[in-house]
A and B are shown apart, each in its own frame.
Chain A
């Protein structure tokens, strides 16, 4: 009896959903970026504590906006994944 192992491991590329894979990949990238933007937010707060200037408030706001933007786009990506 001949066991055709090759057929068991063969992947059918024609049925692969490229759109889904793209969203999956972007979701992963956004997840990494979310962690990065959170670290940037914390770091800006530490640096503003080290050097106190009037524009520190603006930098805090910008880093927070960056973090919130990353959260919103990540949620959008996840919603595309689960639809």
Chain B
């Protein structure tokens, strides 16, 4: 699942002449931890009803109350799982022909959008460490900018090596285009 424009996308603040070229998300395997925890918690009501008998006391709860407790538990587990899915789905990195946009969704009440023009990109590197990252081919891409501007970190994205190459190609194309524009403006009449 390399970074690519797998679905049409537009984002708020997109300029008229701007074209979205890549839309990257963290690798789907990065969701494995919360998926397993959610599956365990969802299966827990199967074990819990037997616990009072094992521990030696009898809870006087009607069948309808048990059903309500079960539904409430499953609803909360589903709701939490949906939240984690949203965290993954809306943490995206968008590459256009003009800039790089990093959208971070931290919580239900807080998300942050960072942007950087392609001409400010100085250096792009990637890191891939550990068995999981090497086996599933995902890692972190670090984009360094000029001067005191913020650096960008794309965490857990698939095929980091390929995506670094794509970003460098984009930056190079952008700089060539800017250079052609500059050459036109300084040509004598």
Contact = CB atoms under 8 A, between A and B. Distances in A.
Contact of A76 (B12, B59, B71, B92): B71
B60 A19 contact: yes
B92 to A, nearest CB: 7
A39 B75 contact: no
A50 B65 contact: no
Given A23-B65, A40-B82, A47-B105, A59 B89 contact: yes
B7 A33 contact: no
Interface of A: 18-19, 22-23, 26, 29-30, 33, 36-37, 39-40, 43-44, 47, 49-55, 59, 62-63, 66, 69-70, 73, 76-77, 80
B75 A70 contact: yes
B76 interface: yes
Given A19-B60, A23-B68, A80-B68, 13 more contacts: A18-B59, A19-B61, A29-B76, A33-B72, A40-B83, A43-B109, A44-B86, A51-B9, A52-B10, A53-B7, A54-B7, A66-B82, A70-B75
Contacts of B75: 30, 33, 69-70, 73
Nearest to A39: B108
Task: Give chain A's interface secondary structure class.
Answer: helix
B164 interface: no
A22 B82 contact: no
15 contacts: A18-B59, A23-B65, A26-B68, A26-B69, A26-B72, A43-B108, A52-B11, A53-B9, A55-B7, A62-B82, A66-B82, A70-B79, A73-B75, A76-B71, A77-B68
A46 B110 CA distance: 12
Best-surrounded residue of B60, B79, B92 (most CB of chain A within 10 A): B79
Contacts of A26: 65, 68-69, 72
Contacts of B9: 51-53
Contacts of B64: 80
A40 B10 CA distance: 22
B78 interface: yes
A80 B68 CA distance: 9
A39 to B, nearest CB: 6
Contacts of B12: 49-51
